[in-house]
Amino acid sequence: MSGDAGLIFIPLLFTACFGMLAYGLLLAFREGMDQYASTYSEDASRQFEDLFLFIPAKRIADLARLAAVGVFVLFYLLFGDLATTAGIARGLGFAVGGALLALNAPRILLAILRRRRIARFNVQLVDSLIGMSSALKAGFSILQAFESIVKQSLNPISQEFSLFLQQVRVGVKFEDALRNMEDRVGSEDLTLMNQSIEIARLTGGNLTEVFEKIAATIRERMRIQQRIRSLTAQGRLQGIVVGAMPVALLFLMTLVDAKMMMAFFASKIGVGLIALAGLLVLGGALIIRKIVDIRI
């Protein structure tokens, strides 16, 4: 009788402990999600507005949280095993990692969109400077030169110049409107243009020649940057391979022979070796990235 009671009690105790663990994780997850949503909404709203993407930040945060929950459940079902402690730990590890990646997916997407927007802006800025120089030669004022670019160019430069002109029309100082545009775009080339305009307005310099020289400087810088990217493409690829291959191998080996990999996950020496390998791989990837990161 005592043995039968033990057979019943042990699974119940295990289930109760697992339920308490799941409940605690759920509470911690909800609290973290609330803090994430409040912080994310403030930061993302500004970033979306800078990209002229008028999407409610709360909606994006809700979608990110929903995706995180879905990825957590999916990864736990794929990699977890309730029958063993190691299986539970493995499932939770993959699930938490996947959920964190899903939560940060909007930030990663925003960063990619911002980099692409800056690159397009810089390419358009060269032709815009030449166009503004021609407009000034024709007798236009500096504001009229900006207006001509808004009418002739595509986004994103037409959006940024249009917003700059709107701010000037409603009473914002010319210099302040330029700085606002500079803060929104985050382009070094735009900073160079703004500084040149401010200096020319203070000293009475020839903006026509200034714009032409800036355009030539930016064009030459782009040519050199493109050359550097071509020469360092192999190094960047090596950095990606060095960082991704060990993770991919760990993932595949866990799928192919989970029992063999459990020897690493279930022992202190194995966990230490995996952690050491991860640090070495991360260090190698960062060193390669630093070597090929050449700034002009």
CATH code of the domain containing 219: 1.20.81
**Is the same domain home to 206 and 262?**
no
pLDDT of residue 22: 65
Q: Residue 178: inside a domain, yes or no?
A: yes
Q: Residue 8: inside a domain, yes or no?
A: no
pLDDT band at 295 (very low <50, low <70, confident <90, very high): low
CB 121 within 8 A of CB 185: yes
Task: State both tokens at 93.
Answer: 């590890």
**Closest by CA position to 262, among listed 92, 96, 90:** 90
Rounded-to-integer distance, Cα 140 and Cα 134, Å: 9
pLDDT of residue 296: 60
pLDDT band at 94 (very low <50, low <70, confident <90, very high): confident
* Type of residue found at 107: R
pLDDT surpasses 60 at 138? yes
* Type of residue found at 106: P
Cis check for the bond before 156: say yes or no (omega within 30 of 0).
yes
Total domains in the chain come to: 2
**Is the same domain home to 181 and 269?**
no
Residue predicted with more confidence, 264 or 141: 141
**Is the same domain home to 221 and 194?**
yes
Please give the average per-residue pLDDT across 218-235, as a whole number.
Answer: 81
**Is the same domain home to 192 and 250?**
no
Residue with token string 């050491």: 276
**Is the same domain home to 151 and 218?**
yes
Please give the average per-residue pLDDT across 61-66, as a whole number.
Answer: 78
CB 64 within 8 A of CB 105: yes
Q: Residue 41: inside a domain, yes or no?
A: no
pLDDT surpasses 50 at 1? no
**Is the same domain home to 239 and 205?**
no
Q: Residue 30: inside a domain, yes or no?
A: no
- Using only C-alpha atoms, what is the Rg of the chain? 28
Rounded-to-integer distance, Cα 141 and Cα 162, Å: 16
**Is the same domain home to 219 and 143?**
yes
pLDDT of residue 166: 92
Q: Residue 67: inside a domain, yes or no?
A: no
Torsion on CA atoms 56, 59, 60, 63, rounded to nearest 10: -170
pLDDT surpasses 50 at 130? yes
Q: Which of 195, 212, 229 is the last residue of a domain?
A: 229
pTM for this predicted structure: 0.65
- Per the structure, the complete domain to which residue 207 belongs is given by 127-229
CB 134 within 8 A of CB 72: no
Residue with token string 């090929």: 292
CB 254 within 8 A of CB 79: yes
Give one DSSP letter per residue of 13-62, joined into a string.
Answer: HHHHHHHHHHHHHHHHHHHHHHHHHHHHHHHHHHHHHHTT----HHHHHH
Please give the average per-residue pLDDT across 134-158, as a whole number.
Answer: 89
**Closest by CA position to 102, among listed 134, 79, 75, 71:** 71
**Which phi and psi angles does 204 have, rounded to 5°?**
80, 30
CB 77 within 8 A of CB 87: no
CB 163 within 8 A of CB 172: no
Q: Which of 181, 213, 229 is the last residue of a domain?
A: 229
Q: Residue 292: inside a domain, yes or no?
A: yes
pLDDT of residue 19: 67
Q: Which of 229, 259, 277 is the last residue of a domain?
A: 229
Sequence-ordered list of residues with C-beta below 8 angstroms from that of 40, at least 6 positions apart, any chain: 57, 60, 61, 64, 106, 107
Residue predicted with more confidence, 237 or 192: 192
Sequence-ordered list of residues with C-beta below 8 angstroms from that of 89, at least 6 positions apart, any chain: 265
**Is the same domain home to 222 and 136?**
yes
